[in-house]
Amino acid sequence: MQDNQWPLWEVFIQSKSGQPYKHCGSVHAPDGAMALENARDVYTRRNEGTSIWVVPAQYIIASTPEEVGEFFDPANDKVYRHPTFYTLPPEVKYI
């Protein structure tokens, strides 16, 4: 059998209940269960997490930096999506 370091898994950690999951790095593991245990040992030695996701790196689809301009372009000219676009008289409260 060929010696190898196993597939790559990306690790996401939720630091506290209610918080979003954040990417923190990657581990190598032969399967999901071991990826989860490796991620725990590598990234949460000091209570950094309440929950972990591991995702096979090959299944992550990412936007490409070269196309970033066009990709995010549809949102650039839509100032009316922001609350500050609308001017209201100062007497109106709680809005």
Partner 1 sequence: MPELTQQELETRFQKKIDDNLYIEPKDWMLDKYRKNLLRQISQHAHSEVVGMLPEANWITRAPNLRRKAALLAKIQDEAGHGLYLYSAAETLGSSREEILNAFLTGKAKYSSIFNYPTLTWADIGAIGWLVDGAAIINQVMLQRASYGPYARAMIRICREESFHQRQGYEIMLTLCRGTAEQKAMAQDALNRWWWPSLMMFGPHDKDSPNTGDMTKWRVKRESNDELRQKFIDRTVPQADFLGITMPDKDLKWNETTQHYDHGEIDWKEFNDVISGHGPCNRERMSARIKAHNDGKWVRDAATAYANKKVHKVKSL
Q: Which residues are near partner 1 by CB under 8 A?
A: 1, 3-6, 8, 24-31, 34, 41-43, 45-46, 62, 64-67, 69-70
Residue closer to partner 1 by CB (options 19, 25) is 25
Contacts of 37 (CB under 8 A, 6+ apart): 29
CA atoms within 13 A on the CB side of 58: 4
Residue closer to partner 1 by CB (options 10, 94) is 10
Residue closer to partner 1 by CB (options 76, 87) is 76
Q: How far is the CB of 69 from partner 1 (least distance, A)?
A: 7
Q: How far is the CB of 65 from partner 1 (least distance, A)?
A: 5
Q: Cβ(12)–Cβ(52) under 8 Å?
A: yes
Q: Which residue, 57, 64, 47, 1, is CA-closest to 26?
A: 57
